[in-house]
């Protein structure tokens, strides 16, 4: 089973990029624990001005902490 469009909004973390990264790390670890779990499609690496609160990169393409969490998964 694939997980599609997984993500964490900065709004859910009071704007904290560290919180966004930690929530994502926890989700990925929990997902990996299921033997039936397949790939995860993260929404999204860069959304520009459309939905920047979900992005792993800021509008200027600089990387948020969540970028490294995704890269290590």
What pLDDT does residue 65 have?
96
What pLDDT does residue 49 have?
79
pLDDT tens digits, 5-56 = 788 889 999 999 999 999 999 999 999 999 999 998 887 787 777 778 888 9
- Is pLDDT of 66 > 90? yes
What totals of helices (H) and strands (E) does the chain contain, helices first? 2, 2
What pLDDT does residue 8 have?
86
Could you tell me if 31 and 69 are in contact, meaning their C-beta atoms sit under 8 angstroms apart? no
pTM: 0.85
């Amino acid at each position: 089973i694939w997980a599609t469009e997984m993500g964490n909004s900065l709004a859910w973390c009071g704007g904290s990029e560290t919180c966004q990264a930690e929530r994502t790390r926890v989700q990925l670890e929990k997902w990996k624990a299921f033997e039936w779990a397949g790939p995860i499609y993260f929404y999204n690496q860069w959304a520009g001005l459309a939905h920047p609160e979900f992005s792993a990169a800021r509008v200027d393409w600089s990387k948020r902490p969540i970028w490294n969490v995704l890269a290590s998964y």
